[in-house]
């Protein structure tokens, strides 16, 4: 990431730093339990860090629309808790060994404890959300959870085979972009925004989330393990066809398609190596195609934010798409 981008990132996160610190404290307090596994696993995940982009979006949306109350911090902790629950379950489903450069929770504590802790985090998040006494908030969170579960089920159905671009976008909307959308919508609800404004801000979140996941999938293919904090090309090893791979399948030679099909079917690089796949992607311009798609979604998000009243929070929302597409992990 460029020096300018890093400086701008610091400026944006300084804007909401105090609120993010309180969100961390609320999250920690909310994970208090008589059962040690809950506290240990939740603490382990919190200490592993993360971008905290979802609660940041909720804060920025609420503040850009003039909200000043404490519920944005409270719901920010809810959103981060839901996100953490999804990470616990994702690692179990993917049989992951590492997360953010450390052993994954399921590797440390086993699947049984982790799936139950993930369930506990979901329920605790909903208990906290209930304190707001707002049916629209609950409606958004329930629909979000259903969409994410459907996304995981859809991904399992699609594993090991080539998919169409539209299937890919549907999948990443459910798995990632839906939470970005709902984070923005929750900020709007707190600010008392009209349904039309909530819908527009939700579109900001949807497009930003799609850009985020497309970039994530490119980095999975092209970044180093040291940077990612997990094995590279893990998606292909799990039989998942991401956008660059879909593009190569649609535009490559018969030999290219056969090679990629072999990796997806084998869920390994035993017959066709990782470097061979990268060569196919580069030759067909597939990585560039995926990144251009991410840039397009980011620009669509920025266009939505451009219609907000002038404020430092609007300027932050205008910059966030740059962060999403320029990051290296």
- Give this prediction's pTM: 0.93
pLDDT of the chain, 329 residues: tens digit per residue = 544 454 466 788 889 999 999 999 999 999 999 999 999 999 998 888 777 999 999 999 999 999 999 999 999 999 999 999 999 999 999 888 888 788 999 999 999 999 999 999 999 999 999 999 999 999 999 999 999 999 999 999 999 988 999 999 999 999 999 999 999 999 999 999 999 999 999 999 999 999 999 999 999 999 877 777 677 889 999 999 999 999 999 999 999 999 999 999 999 999 999 999 999 999 999 999 999 999 999 999 999 999 999 999 999 999 999 989 988 77
Fold adopted by 3-143+161-326: Farnesyl Diphosphate Synthase (1.10.600)
**Sequence spans of domains, the chain:** 3-143+161-326
SS (H, E, C) the chain: CCHHHHHHHHHHHHHCHHHHHHHHHHHHHHCCCCCHHHHHHHHHHHHCCCCCHHHHHHHHHHHHCCCCCCHHHHHHHHHHHHHHHHHHHHHHHHCCCEECCEECHHHHHCHHHHHHHHHHHHHHHHHHHHCCCCHHHHHHHHHHHHHHHHHHHHHHHHCCCCCCHHHHHHHHHHHHHHHHHHHHHHHHHHCCCCHHHHHHHHHHHHHHHHHHHHHHHHHHHHCCHHHHCCCCCHHHHCCCCCHHHHHHHHHCCHHHHHHHHHHHHHCCCCCCCHHHHHHHHHHCCHHHHHHHHHHHHHHHHHHHHCCCCCCHHHHHHHHHHHHHHHCCC
């Amino acid at each position: 990431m460029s020096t300018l981008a890093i400086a701008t990132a610091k400026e944006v996160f300084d804007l909401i730093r105090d609120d993010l610190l309180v969100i961390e404290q609320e999250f920690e307090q909310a994970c208090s339990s008589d059962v040690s596994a809950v506290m240990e696993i939740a603490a382990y995940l919190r200490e592993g860090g993360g971008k905290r982009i979802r609660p940041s979006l909720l804060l920025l949306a609420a503040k850009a629309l003039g909200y000043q109350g404490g519920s944005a911090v409270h719901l920010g902790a809810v959103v981060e808790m839901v996100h953490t629950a999804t990470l616990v379950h994702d690692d179990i489903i993917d049989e992951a060994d590492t997360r953010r450069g450390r052993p994954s929770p399921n590797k440390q504590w086993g699947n049984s404890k982790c799936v139950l802790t993930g369930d506990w985090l979901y329920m605790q998040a909903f208990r906290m959300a209930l304190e707001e006494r707002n049916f629209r908030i609950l409606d958004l969170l329930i629909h979000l959870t259903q969409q994410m579960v459907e996304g995981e089920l859809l991904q399992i159905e699609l594993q090991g085979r080539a998919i169409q671009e539209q299937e890919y976008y549907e999948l990443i909307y459910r798995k990632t972009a839906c939470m970005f959308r709902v984070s923005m919508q929750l900020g709007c609800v707190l600010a008392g925004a009209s349904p039309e404004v909530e819908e527009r801000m939700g579109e900001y979140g949807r497009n930003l989330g799609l850009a985020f996941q497309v970039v994530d999938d490119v980095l999975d293919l092209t970044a180093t393990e040291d940077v990612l904090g997990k094995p590279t090309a893990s998606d292909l090893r799990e039989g998942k066809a991401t956008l660059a791979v879909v593009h190569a399948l649609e535009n490559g030679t018969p030999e290219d398609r056969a090679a990629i099909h072999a990796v997806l079917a084998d869920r390994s690089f035993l017959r066709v190596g990782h470097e061979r796949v990268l060569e196919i992607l580069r030759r067909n311009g597939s990585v560039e195609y995926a990144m251009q798609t991410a840039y397009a979604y980011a620009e669509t998000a920025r266009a939505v934010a451009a219609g907000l009243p002038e404020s430092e929070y609007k300027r932050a929302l205008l910059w966030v798409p740059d962060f999403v597409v320029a990051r290296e992990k």
